Structure 1
Amino acid sequence: MTTNYSIDCNTGSMGNKYYIMVDKDNRDIRRELRKGMEEENKDWIISSSATGIRKGHSYVIAVSEQAVNDEKFLSILNKYDTQVKKFVWCYIRFEKSDGSRYWIPEEDAVKMKNELENNESIITVSIDYINDQ
Structure 2
Amino acid sequence: MNYSIKYNIDHIADEYYIMLDKNERDVRRELSEGMKEEKKDWTVSSPSHVVRNGDSYVITVSEQAVNDEKFLSILNKYDTQVKKFVWCYIRFEKPDGSRYWISEEDAVKMKNELENNESIFTVSIDYINDQ
Q: 2:34 aligns with which of 33, 36, 39?
A: 36
1:96-132 CA-partner distances (Å, limit 9, x unpaired): 566432621111111111111111111111111178x
Is the 1:50–1:61 Cα contact (8 Å) retained in structure 2?
no
Structure 2 spans left out of the alignment, 5+ residues: none
Give the aligned length: 129
Counterparts of 1:56 and 1:77, CA distance in 2? 21
Query: CA shift at 1:47, angstroms?
Result: 3.7
Is the 1:68–1:84 Cα contact (8 Å) retained in structure 2?
yes
Is the 2:107–2:128 Cα contact (8 Å) retained in structure 1?
no
Q: Match for 1:7: what amino acid?
A: I
Structure 1 spans left out of the alignment, 5+ residues: none
Q: Could you tell me which residue of structure 1 aligns to residue 105 of structure 2?
A: 107
| TM-score, normalising length: structure 2 | 0.88
Counterparts of 1:49 and 1:62, CA distance in 2? 11
Counterparts of 2:59 and 2:84, CA distance in 1? 11
Larger mean CA deviation between 6-15 and 44-53 belongs to 44-53
| TM-score, normalising length: structure 1 | 0.87
1:34-60 CA-partner distances (Å, limit 9, x unpaired): 111111111110044676200011000
Q: Could you tell me which residue of structure 1 aligns to residue 19 of structure 2?
A: 21
Counterparts of 1:76 and 1:51, CA distance in 2? 22
Q: Could you tell me which residue of structure 2 aligns to residue 6 of structure 1?
A: 4
Q: 2:55 aligns with which of 51, 54, 57?
A: 57
User: Percentage identity across aligned positions?
Assistant: 76
| Alignment root-mean-square deviation, CA | 2.0
Counterparts of 2:23 and 2:81, CA distance in 1? 17
